[in-house]
Amino acid sequence: MIDLVEKLYTNNTLRKHELIQLLRDIEAPTRNHLIKKAHATRMHRYGDLVYMRGLIEFTNYCHQNCQYCGIRSGNPRAERYRLSLDEILDSCRIGSELGFRTFVLQGGEDLYYNDERIVEILERIKEQYPESAITLSIGEKSRESYQKFYNAGADRYLLRHETASRHLYERMHPDMTLDNRIKCLQNLKEIGFQVGTGFLVGLPGQTLEDYVEDLIFLQELKPHMVGIGPFIPHQHTPMSHEQGGSLTDVITLLAIIRLLLPDVLLPATTALGSIDPIGREKGLKAGANVVMPNLSPTTARAKYALYDGKISTGDEAAECRICIEDKIRNAGFTVDMSRGDHIDWRGLS
Ligand code: SAM
């Protein structure tokens, strides 16, 4: 088993059957070795820096109906909200004063925010904070829409593929197709965005062969960012009584992803911090190098409830940042407030 980790560390790839073997047979000593190698790779590529992104959850309206998600259209009990343009700009101002140089605008697929409105938001933010990067994460759109967003100043786009297993994807996403998700990711790459994708860990029925599909997909797409996190049940979804994903599985997969894609920007996600009080720190030690503190107004935080038990729903942005920074430092890393572009983008922006 240690041989497989060494091979992955040296070659940054493994054959499908080797990945299956690694995930199937891994135990604590090999996992610890894997984590050490992932950490060494991250130190070699990015040093001990942890890039900070300010997350603004600007709408929880969504016309999609993902089975696992608390803001799905089929949840009549979700308390819906939208931030106005002024509220979004205010969150950026607070973030900018705290030193953030990346704003991540995330939301459900909210038809109120048509292309024109999104373009206006992007232009206003870029006008006021030209030195900052903007990441959009608003789901599946046409290539034309993505191009408009890019032209208006969006630098990056996050669209998790959620699972590369076709049968699981279809079970989790009625009315959506994996092919369209992948087409969107290809369009985003071709347009010139720094592209993030990723997947959920611990969905009901998800097998280690499914994770291997995800890993192979990542190797083929070569995204600039990969967000993975545990599935966590939400009380008002059809999956409320299912078991959530495990910390160990997420950590193992984070470490493997760091070795498969050594230059990738890899968040230690809020969901990871929500299932374990030191989940994000464990993620950082296994190769993750991005953290996304929440800049949304506190009135919106709890309403952006994708899953139960989400952390940091009550803190003000400044408190949130200080608390996370302390955790990052105590874990032995250095907070970096720059734009934190992918290595291939350095010097280009
Ligand atoms: N609408 C955009 C999209 O589809 O990419 C962005 C918003 S969506 C709510 C953001 C992410 O939340 C999804 O990619 C999904 O992986 C994650 N998510 C949703 N429900 C979740 C749950 N129950 N547990 C963990 N993560 C969840």
Residues of the domain holding 111: 2-338
Is 348 within the bounds of a domain? Answer: no
259 alpha carbon to ligand 1 midpoint, in Å? 25
pLDDT given for residue 89 in this prediction: 98
In 210-319, the DSSP E strands lie at: 225-226, 229-230, 290-291
- Ligand 1 atom with the smallest distance to the CA of 159 is 5
C-alpha distances (whole Å) from 161 to each of 129, 206, 324 are: 30, 14, 27
Is 347 within the bounds of a domain? Answer: no
Residue type, 65: N
Is 345 within the bounds of a domain? Answer: no
- Ligand 1 atom with the smallest distance to the CA of 237 is 23
Number of structural domains (the chain) is 1
Is 346 within the bounds of a domain? Answer: no
Of 207, 210, 184, 208, nearest in space to 195 by CA = 184
Is 219 within the bounds of a domain? Answer: yes
200 alpha carbon to ligand 1 midpoint, in Å? 9
Q: Helix or strand or coil: residue 100? A: coil
Separation between Cα atoms, residue 133 and residue 339, nearest integer Å:
6
Residue nearest to atom 19 of ligand 1 (CA): 69
Which residues does 215 contact at the CB level (< 8 Å), separation at least 6?
Answer: 19, 253, 256, 257, 260
Cα four-point dihedral sign 147, 152, 158, 159: negative
Residue nearest to atom 8 of ligand 1 (CA): 108
Mean pLDDT by 10 residues, the chain (349 residues): 95 98 97 98 97 97 98 98 97 96 98 98 98 98 98 98 98 97 98 98 98 98 98 98 98 98 97 95 98 92 93 73 90 97 80
Is 333 within the bounds of a domain? Answer: yes
CATH code: domain of residue 109: 3.20.20.70
Which residues does 196 contact at the CB level (< 8 Å), separation at least 6?
Answer: 135, 137, 156, 157, 158, 159, 160, 223, 224, 225, 226, 227, 265
Is 97 within the bounds of a domain? Answer: yes
Is 349 within the bounds of a domain? Answer: no
Separation between Cα atoms, residue 141 and residue 120, nearest integer Å:
17
The pocket around ligand 1, CB under 6 angstroms, is made up of 68-69, 71, 106, 108-109, 137-139, 159-160, 162, 200, 229, 231-232, 234, 271, 306-307
Please, what is the Cα angle at 202 between 201 and 206, to 5 degrees? 100
pLDDT given for residue 1 in this prediction: 82
pLDDT given for residue 66 in this prediction: 98
323 labelled ligand-binding: no
Strand pairing category for 290-291 and 49-52: parallel
